[in-house]
Amino acid sequence: MKMEDVSLSSMDNSKMEGFAQEILSDLVEDACLGLCFEVHRAVKQGYFFLDDTDQESMKDFEIVDQPGVDIFGQVYNQWKNKECVCPNCNRSIAASRFAPHLEKCLGMGRNSSRIANRRLVSGNNTNKSESDHIDLDMFTSCLHFSTPLKSRHIYHIAFYTTD
């Protein structure tokens, strides 16, 4: 029986109480079913028991808001020099200077590669005699890389010796 089919004036109190009881039981059932689904999902996802901690164990995780300490209450020395060890030369270097040192130490940076190339060229030129001198322009190839800021030329030099 639907509510639209019955006029309210022709209903007696017992029928109205029956409809009210049915509506109330539907609302309670929907609320309970929704709660059951929420609890089931929380258990399956693993966050159901997250709020079951005692206050004593939570004191270890409280945020400390005091000057001179970090959020965990430990003294923080911001001027402490942090140091790193170079994997190439095993020297201890300040963290702020580690990247430039590594570029130069490994010879992989922009300026470092130029210096390393100069060393190679000068090292090879000192080993040659005047009679073995070969015109470098003949064996030099130039690659041109264009970037938005500027263009770079990278020279590849091939050294040939005559035995």
Q: What does the pLDDT look like over 21-51, one tens digit per residue?
A: 999 999 999 999 999 999 999 999 988 887 7
| Residue corresponding to tokens 């430039």 | 100
Query: How many CA atoms are closer than 13 Å to the CA of 96, on its beta-carbon side?
Result: 3
Please, which pLDDT band fits residue 135 given cuts at 50, 70 and 90?
Answer: very low
Q: What angle in degrees, to the nearest 10, is found between the helix axes of 98-106 and 110-127? A: 30
* Mean of the per-residue pLDDT values of the chain: 74
CB 70 within 8 A of CB 87: no
pLDDT at residue number 113: 61
Please, which pLDDT band fits residue 95 given cuts at 50, 70 and 90?
Answer: confident
What's the token pair of residue 9? 């004036």
Residues 67-90: tens digit of each pLDDT: 888 888 888 776 666 888 888 888
Determine the Cα–Cα distance for residues 120 and 108; give it in Å rounded to an integer: 14
What is the value of pTM for the model shown? 0.30
Query: pLDDT at residue 137 above 60?
Result: no
Helices (H), 46-147: 55-58, 98-106, 110-127, 136-139
Percent with pLDDT over 70 in the chain: 59
